[in-house]
Amino acid sequence: MPRSRPLRTKEEIAAVPGDQSVTIALEPEGVVILNKEADDAAVSAQEKPEVQSKPTEDEATQELKQQLEDLRKANAEQQARFTQEVQARQAAEQRSRQREVETYQHKIRAEDAEYDAILNAIGSAESEAEAAQRDIAAATETADYKAVADASRRLARAESRLSQLEDGKLAIERAKTEAAARAKQAPRQQAAPQQNVTVDQYIDSIPNLLPSQRGWLKQHPDAMTDPKKNIRVQNAHNEAEEQGLQVGTTRYFQFLDQKLGYAKPDTEDDDVADDNNNRAAGQVSAPPSRTATSPTGRTSPTRITLTPEQREIARLSGIDEITYAKNLQKMQDYKAQGLIN
């Protein structure tokens, strides 16, 4: 809510929190009030009719337009960088998953080769054991006890190798079973974090958005999840700026709603009513008044109200609220006179 007393200095304006509107008192150009006599002279001078020559957009107006355009470009560049960072992070995650798959496949191939080698060794040990048993039988028939002893030692070594090889075979088979179970669980574990990321959290992560813009996007989440509608939002935003609609105002969001099909086009009477409501609520800047008078009868300075969004634009543009208000006042005067679109 704007304060009841208009503010005149940067210090007074800075004391108002950024999430509140401020009403700024702007003295008419060329008027310096030194005392009551000078004040009365200023009033008399303002009451005299002036022959207005058709002004052109001065340097201050051009500078304000350029600052707003630079801010729009900076926001677009920031959004592009954010998109690139997201894509780069996704590509890095994809490469990491690919490396994990390749490592897993390499490990499987190595285990398969080891398993095949163990099977071959088991076959060789079994053949050696069978040969030793035959040699023992033959040596026993001929009473060759030396040959029996030698064949017995070979049989013992073969059976010992078979025992070790069987243990190795069981270990590899157990490792394969566990790896297969982990592989089945891995996709579910990787998908679980993605399910916890909501559209609202993604919107909050987008930089350089006004609070009102985040609120509008959260009210229309399909504008983020639907690629075609997201492109339409970008186009509608650009068109609104081309038509001079201030980002974050009620008219700006009404324009987006109509372009995206969230609301029907307003009639002329509805537009007038909406503008009156906006001015009453302080959601758009109050039009400057050159004829307002105070209870003392003295012509009051021009007053203009800046919304929190407009104060934020001024801050991002690198100018103080008073300068922004003066430039905005001039643009409104020129538009009212039909000198600029």
Residue 179 confidence (pLDDT):
79
Neighbours of 45 (CB within 10 A): 13
How do residues 176-223 score in pLDDT, each as one tens digit? 788 778 777 655 544 444 445 688 888 888 877 888 898 999 999 988
Instruction: Say if residue 310 is in the same domain as residue 234.
Output: yes
Residue 228 lies in a domain: yes
Residue 27 lies in a domain: yes
Residue 196 confidence (pLDDT):
57
Instruction: Say if residue 41 is in the same domain as residue 156.
Output: no
Residue 4 lies in a domain: no
Residue 143 lies in a domain: yes
User: How many whole angstroms separate alpha carbon 203 and alpha carbon 209?
Assistant: 9
Instruction: Say if residue 328 is in the same domain as residue 211.
Output: yes
Instruction: Say if residue 133 is in the same domain as residue 251.
Output: no
Low-confidence ranges of the chain (pLDDT < 70): 1-4, 27-57, 185-197, 266-302, 336-341
Instruction: Say if residue 66 is in the same domain as residue 191.
Output: no
Residue 152 confidence (pLDDT):
92
71: left (phi over 0), alpha (psi -120 to 50) or beta: alpha
Q: What share of the chain is helix, strand, coil (3-state, %, to 5)?
A: 70, 5, 25
Instruction: Tell the burial category of 332 from Cβ atoms under 10 Å away from its Cβ (0-12, 13-18, 19+).
Output: middle
Residue 312 confidence (pLDDT):
86
Instruction: Say if residue 298 is in the same domain as residue 224.
Output: yes
Instruction: Say if residue 107 is in the same domain as residue 192.
Output: yes
> pTM score, two decimals?
0.31
Domain that holds residue 163: 94-198
In the chain, the number of structural domains is 2
User: How many whole angstroms separate alpha carbon 245 and alpha carbon 241?
Assistant: 5
User: How many whole angstroms separate alpha carbon 101 and alpha carbon 104?
Assistant: 5
Residue 64 confidence (pLDDT):
77
Instruction: Say if residue 234 is in the same domain as residue 295.
Output: yes
